[in-house]
A and B are shown apart, each in its own frame.
Chain A
């Protein structure tokens, strides 16, 4: 290659590197135009689209995070509300239970009171009945005792006195009268 170049140089075909040749200029301009077109119409618009997509994605993520936060806050609020509700419910149930308990207690107390009253009444009645029966039996016994005693007293006096005969007669009549009245008294 170099001998050829040297020969060319020797023939006086010396090039001046600072004088541009037309083909040089034309093809350089063509290269520039092609590359400019390429960047202007293809590469840079694609790049711009990417940059837009990227910033959009970042903004999208921020929006998504906001959304998630809002949701979390809503959930928290809901939980809090539920918790409060549950608490209220529990206290309501407790209150109810207490009221129920008191009611039951009162009922029981009343029942007991009634029962006690009933028992006491029945006891009173029984006592009364017993007293009545005791009174009746006592009266009859006292009667017989009195009769015995009276007959003892009267027996001694009756032996000698004519007056005594009249007393005995009256006593017997009384006795008959009281015996006639006794069954009606027993029935009551």
Chain B
């Protein structure tokens, strides 16, 4: 846990520094007359709208999350409302989605029985991440619900608890023994192997789950904002030939919007499949 906290303490400063340099590197070409303002990290911390000062403060990001899960539940509510053996259009969409998590993730990795046990968790993780990712490119929302640490962290903690629960449930105390002292390794090497295994299994996993998802969404959002702000700047504030740059930046902006769709699906898939893989590894019965 110590290592995790240290990572959390050191990583943010590096990350911010990185983002700032990235922004600064991109910006100078446009700051000829000092009119250009790039996006900052404060994009992700909008003003509080309701319940200010309580632990239930609601801001724009949280409203976006509510919107995402309401749409998610609507799609699957309508899609599964009157299910027929021969599917209608809505039903086939819902079925396709649920079949994807059921067949391609849960049953593929965990097998029929365990797949069914963990299916609600895996389905929830996948679709919650997917729908919250997609708000990043929906006009007027323009911010992924997963780009603020809350959702990635909560989901990572749940994945963490799930695989530890799965391991203890299946193998009892042997789960920790197998995880920390892998069988077949010479006893002397445990001095080296055990700390590495401990960090990689019990520290790195939740941290990487959280950061991978969040940083993908943060960077995607910042890139899009940067492209569209730059387009605005080139078209309306820059003079002469610089206006032409605006065409390039808007083209990139559109291309990256499409790219963000891919990222949104991919990150949801990665999050769900890693959660499943961790559970699968915990369920393995090594002697």
Contacts and interface: CB of A to CB of B under 8 A. Distances in A.
Contacts of A29: 154
Interface of chain A, main secondary structure: helix
B80 A42 contact: yes
Contacts of A23: 51, 54-59, 62
Interface in A10-54: 14-29, 31-32, 34-36, 38-40, 42-44, 46-47, 49-50, 53-54
B65 A27 contact: yes
A14 B149 CA distance: 16
B120 interface: yes
Contacts of B119: 44
Interface stretch (A1-9, A103-111, A118-126): A1-9
Contact of B55 (A26, A38, A54): A26
Contacts of B85: 50, 53-54, 57
A18 B152 CA distance: 11
Contacts of B84: 50
A6 B37 contact: yes
A57 B148 CA distance: 47
B168 interface: no
B231 interface: no
A49 B128 contact: no
Interface in A70-95: none
Interface of chain B, main secondary structure: helix
Interface string B48-81: 0001001111110110011001001100110010
A14 B19 CA distance: 14
B72 A16 contact: no
Contact of A17 (B12, B154, B155): B12
**Category for how many chain A residues contact B:** 35 or more
Contact of A44 (B15, B58, B98, B214): B98
Contacts of B29: none
Interface string B113-141: 00000011101100110000000000000
Given A5-B43, A17-B12, A57-B85, A25 B98 contact: no
Contacts of A6: 37, 40
A24 B150 contact: yes
Given A6-B40, A35-B69, A20 B149 contact: yes
B11 A18 contact: yes
Contacts of B55: 22-23, 26
Interface of B: 8, 11-12, 15-16, 37, 40-45, 51, 54-59, 61-62, 65-66, 69, 72-73, 76-77, 80, 83-85, 94-95, 98, 102, 119-121, 123-124, 127-128, 148-151, 153-155, 158, 211, 214, 218
Given A18-B15, A28-B155, A34-B73, 5 more contacts: A6-B37, A18-B12, A27-B56, A28-B151, A44-B123
